[in-house]
Amino acid sequence: MKKPFAVVAIFVAVCSVCFAAAGQYSFGDGRFYADLLPSDELYPEALFDIYSPQSDLTPMFLSGGVSNPIDLRAIVQDSAGMNQYVDLPYRDDDLGSDDNMYLRMKTGINLSLFRIGFGLHDALSKPLVEIEGSVQGTVSTLFCGFEKNDTLGFDGTYFFGANVRIADIVSLRFGLHHFSGHYGDEMLEKFYAKNGIDFSSSDPKLKINGTAYKYIGLMEYVRDNSYLMGVSVQTPWFVRIYGELEIPKNPSWIRPFAHTPADYENTIPGDEGRPTLIDRIGGDAADGEHWKQSQLDAEQELKRSGNYKALRIMTGVEVTVPIPSFGSVFAGVNIQLHQDGQTKHQYGQYSADNPWEFEITAGGGIEIGSGLRIEAFYHEGRVPALNWFYSRTKMVGVGFSIDG
Amino acid sequence: MKKFLASAFLILASISAGFAFGQYSLFDDAIDLELVPSDELYPEAIFDMYSPQTDFSLMDLASGQANPSSIRTSSLNTSTGKQEYVDLPYSDGFADDDDSYLRMKTGANISLLRLGFLDQRMEIEASIQGALDTIFAVFGGSTNLGFDGTYFAGANMRLFNTVSLRFGIHHFSGHYGDEVLDDFYNHNFPDGDTSFTRNDTVYQFNNLVEYVRDNSFLAGISIQTPWLVRLYCELELPKSPSWIRPVADIPADYSTFRNDEQSLIEAIGGDENFTASQLEADEASKRSGLYRAMRIQTGAEVLIPVKYVGTVFAGINVQLHQDGQTLHEVGGYSPDNPWEVEVTVGGGLDIAGSGVRVEAYYHDGRMPLLNWYYDRVKFISVGLSIDS
């Protein structure tokens, strides 16, 4: 690792020198400019995208009648070596009606590295086309606002790519996007204890309704990495409309096995006997889900029957009305469509006729000059912690957010 | 909870209405009022490992340094009937090249409202901060070692643009990574039996040891000297009542939020399965000194502005942990034991107008993940950080 470390050190040193030398330049009456680390980004983030690279501190309350998320989806194996996904609680379902608050804390960064602009937009007296290199990253967590404040999980996301803005109206984005879900440690400890989980390679002891199973692990959500492309249009009437499409790369890591498309390549070179990603993620590698080969083959065949690619589509609309000397008032709706909903998050359930899974988040608030937002929103969709994707919820959030 | 939600919304709406008044000078310009200013009055220490800054850095263990390889458990010594902290490995070992870790920390540091007096000679602001931090191995399956959460809420003051003061409530909470936990259980208890043998003694595993400070008083002072040098010092003192983990770190006679009859040592020690006699002895030993699980941080920074480039900086940060006097063991406290010391020293370039720093530093201290506080490391780090 000394060599990569030295390479990174040299790269950082060279970047430093370049940064120091370049500065900010403008040529040809504004027809061309170069800007290092500009303070804003060309592609605006969706205000109500639960997964966006913004910083949030938001108490979220379950809507009336909605159950607390307490079931984890586990991978278990029966005595015949056949796997299945089963939902097992991490705690007793003895929560009161007041135990309905969760606190979401997300910290994020959204950085434009280098920007160039060229051409001249006469009406704006600024370049017609602007292009920038962009990096983003977030770490988020969702923990209980009751009892000992157990955390349900931690998520990591990042993006790197390029943004383009044309005539200050249309923004485009293209790059690689990463999602990685992690369960919370306190909740995991409770899960292991409550279900008598053992990690034996033989002599299974986990019992479900009196039947013994071998515990393989928990379902996890990973997209490492996907192509992400987006378009955003700022209309003249304070309204912004946007749409984004996310397609997992081939090869890439995709978890769980139930979400993996057919005939994606195994990313590990020389991994004999596991030619596809389904074989790798679902199979008997140390980090696999240990499904039987016949199950893997059946799942692969099933997914060949449609155009399944584990796509994610996001679209939405926002109204942002500026208020002089203050900031702005905004409202918006964000809709996310997950093609992996067609799998029902279960083995052997994929059908091209199944609907995509749908999430909607709608809300409004005010933004104070420097980017602090006070907002309230309603979310109907997945529990906003990636590894809990199989758990639907309805929540109301009231809190703060700032652009990363 | 509906009432709480309605209250929260009303509070936020009221704050919003307050914000709508914008930026003002009041009482014939005697007081300046600014809402959500873009900077903070109290500068964050550049090389404080736990600061609310955004970091993306590659950490390379110094030559000869062992990887953090064990997780501290609270386990029962079946021979003595007493509880002990026992470190258990989470893996079979590491290859020689397995010495790099990736750190990703994202943070937010917000000044909510600022008042200026005497033509800005005295300024005071309300401040909130938060950070989430994680470290991954850059080898094998990129195992995540853990996640940390910190926050601060309080007030900052600046006098004559030179001396800054801070006071508030500070929170630390460590969490193990789910992957490292799975590895730990797989490695140590593959047959589901949570007993193990160490030095011919049979132990019964009970639970993992965690690091929590929920919450502490934090007070700080920072002085910007005329010679481009900043000096700072901070003191952190856990509140009583509060939550402190592990029990080995808890001062004597601290109380809990839940039961005044029980001391914090008894409450947390009970969670960690220590016997009453062990906890009584630990509490008694801590009465013998001025143990308060304090943390002191001090340091110096040199910041040299360079026209068109930014600021070249160098600094040193020293942290002193009084909990080092416990040797991180129940019953290990003695006022004669030394405080634990961490040193971080480095330098870099703050790129003009961007807030982005390119930096390198050397760290000799705790593994910079709270739950790994018992694991000392030396490493070199190269990366980017951003004042959030």
C-beta separation of A389 from A345 below 8 A: yes
* Cα–Cα distance list, A163 to A160, A205, A233, A313 (Å): 10, 53, 13, 18
With 60 as the cut, is the pLDDT of residue A184 above it? Answer: yes
**pLDDT confidence of A302, banded at 50, 70, 90?**
very high
The C-alpha atoms of residue A78 and residue B211 are separated, in whole angstroms, by 38
With 50 as the cut, is the pLDDT of residue A13 above it? Answer: yes
Q: Where are the domains of chain A?
A: 33-403
CATH of B36-386, picked from 2.40.110.10, 1.20.58.340, 3.40.250.10, 2.40.230.10, is 2.40.230.10
ipTM above 0.85, yes or no: no
Judge whether A402 is closer than 8 Å to chain B, CB to CB.
yes
DSSP A276: B
The C-alpha atoms of residue B151 and residue B137 are separated, in whole angstroms, by 25
Nearest to A55 among B5, B36, B108 (CB): B108
Longest CA–CA span in chain B (Å) reads 79
What global pTM score does this model have?
A: 0.88
The C-alpha atoms of residue A141 and residue A157 are separated, in whole angstroms, by 12
CB contact under 8 A, B5 and A398: yes
CB contact under 8 A, B147 and A182: yes
Cα dihedral angle (B329, B324, B182, A151), rounded to 10 degrees?
110
C-beta separation of B49 from B43 below 8 A: no
Residue A380: Cβ-neighbour burial (10 angstroms; 0-12, 13-18, 19+): middle
How many residues belong to chain A?
404
Instruction: Give every residue of chain B whose pLDDT is below 70, as ranges.
Output: 1-23, 259-260
C-alpha B88, offset from chain centre: 24
C-beta separation of B174 from B182 below 8 A: no
The C-alpha of B288 sits at a distance from chain A's nearest C-alpha, in angstroms, of 32
CB contact under 8 A, A327 and B19: yes
A340-364 pLDDT, tens per residue?
Answer: 999 999 999 999 999 999 999 999 9
The C-alpha atoms of residue A280 and residue A289 are separated, in whole angstroms, by 9
pLDDT computed for residue B261 by the predictor: 83
- Select the residue from B11, B15, B19 to test the A interface by mutation, using most A Cβ atoms within 10 A: B19
pLDDT computed for residue B38 by the predictor: 81
List strand residue ranges (DSSP E) for A49-128, in order: 54-62, 71-77, 83-89, 101-118
C-beta separation of B280 from B271 below 8 A: no
Judge whether A139 is closer than 8 Å to chain B, CB to CB.
yes
With 60 as the cut, is the pLDDT of residue A71 above it? Answer: yes
- Where is pLDDT greater, at A162 or A16? A162
Considering only alpha carbons, which residue of chain A is nearest residue B56? A137
Where is average pLDDT lowest: A55-59, A176-180, A390-394? A55-59
C-beta separation of B59 from B381 below 8 A: yes
**Who's near B88: CB < 8 A, 6+ residues apart?**
B70, B71, B73, B184, B187, B188, B196, B205
| H-state helical runs in B154-214 | 178-188
**pLDDT confidence of A1, banded at 50, 70, 90?**
very low
The C-alpha of B263 sits at a distance from chain A's nearest C-alpha, in angstroms, of 18
Residue A371: Cβ-neighbour burial (10 angstroms; 0-12, 13-18, 19+): middle
Q: Which of residues 29-58 of A touch B (CB under 8 A)?
A: 36-37, 39, 55, 57
CB contact under 8 A, B133 and A139: yes
Q: Where are the domains of chain B?
A: 1-27, 36-386
The C-alpha atoms of residue A234 and residue B228 are separated, in whole angstroms, by 45
- Select the residue from A2, A7, A8, A12 to test the B interface by mutation, using most B Cβ atoms within 10 A: A12
**pLDDT confidence of A403, banded at 50, 70, 90?**
confident
* Architecture per CATH, A33-403: Beta Barrel (2.40)
